[in-house]
Structure 1
Amino acid sequence: MVRFKNRYVTVEISSPMIPENKPLSLKSKIFHETVMTKIQQLHGDFGVAAVRTGFLTKYCNENTRIAIIKVRHGPHKFVTSCIPFITKIGNLDVSLRTLHVGATLKHCFKFIQKHQRAYLNSVWMSLKSDDERKRLEAAVMDFTKTDVAINIGNIT
Structure 2
Amino acid sequence: MVRFKNRWILVEFIPITQGTAQLGKSTVGSANSIDGKAIWSALKQSVLNNFGDTGWGAVGLSLTVKYFSPTTNICIIRVARDQHNIAWGALTLLTSIDGTRYLPNVVHVSGTIRHAQLAAIAHNREVIARYRALAENPAAYQDSYNTFLESTEREIEALQD
TM-score, normalised to structure 1, is 0.82
Give ranges in structure 1 of 5+ residues lacking alignment. none
Q: Percent identity?
A: 22
Structure 1 pair 35–118 and aligned structure 2 pair: CA distance change class (3 A): same
Name which of 124, 137, 142 aligns with 1:131: 142
Q: Specify the alignment match of 1:58 in structure 2.
A: 66
Secondary structure, counterpart of 1:8 in structure 2 = strand
Q: Specify the alignment match of 1:102 in structure 2.
A: 110
In 1, Cα distance between equivalents of 2:157 and 2:150: 14
Displacement of 1:85:
1.4
CA contact (8 A) 2:47 2:90 kept: yes
Q: What whole-Å deviation, never above 9, does each CA across 1:14-45 have from its counterpart, x for those lacking one? A: 10337714426211111101101101111111
Structure 1 pair 127–141 and aligned structure 2 pair: CA distance change class (3 A): farther
Structure 1 pair 140–63 and aligned structure 2 pair: CA distance change class (3 A): farther
CA contact (8 A) 2:67 2:76 kept: yes
User: Where in structure 1 do 4 or more consecutive aligned residues deviate above 6 Å?
Assistant: none
CA contact (8 A) 1:64 1:140 kept: no
In 2, Cα distance between equivalents of 1:59 and 1:127: 30
Q: Specify the alignment match of 1:10 in structure 2.
A: 10
In 1, Cα distance between equivalents of 2:78 and 2:126: 25
In 2, Cα distance between equivalents of 1:28 and 1:136: 22
Q: What RMSD over aligned residues (CA atoms) do the two structures have, in Å?
A: 2.5
In 2, Cα distance between equivalents of 1:123 and 1:16: 17
Q: What whole-Å deviation, never above 9, does each CA across 1:66-89 have from its counterpart, x for those lacking one? A: 001110111111010111211110
Q: Specify the alignment match of 1:115 in structure 2.
A: 123
In 2, Cα distance between equivalents of 1:71 and 1:110: 18
TM-score, normalised to structure 2, is 0.80
CA contact (8 A) 2:91 2:104 kept: yes
